Amino acid sequence: MGEERRRTGDRVAEEGRDMAREALHKIETHERVCTERYGTIVRNLAEERELQKERHGENQDAIKNINERMWVAAGAVIVSMLGLITTLILTAPKP
């Protein structure tokens, strides 16, 4: 009976070690997969950061262009108004 208990204990211990090895293998596999995924995420974030910087520069150029056009349009309106005022003054009937 003591021998049978010892064999049962050895079998249980061996099964426990097998389960532990399998669990360790699963954890190591999971860590490798996660490391690879993390690296991909970091690379994608770096690429997005670069694209964002490029887009920001393009947006700044577009805003600068719009501002320049607005100043040109404002200048044209002012010159046109001055011309209209001058015309009205010069063609107004004199009392």
pLDDT of residue 88: 92
Whether residue 8 has pLDDT greater than 90: no
Distance CA 39, CA 43 (A): 6
Distance CA 34, CA 24 (A): 15
For residue 87, give both structure tokens.
């015309």
pLDDT of residue 33: 97
Write the pLDDT tens digit of every residue in 26-79: 999 999 999 999 999 999 999 999 999 888 888 888 899 999 999 999 999 999
pLDDT of residue 57: 85
pLDDT of residue 95: 72
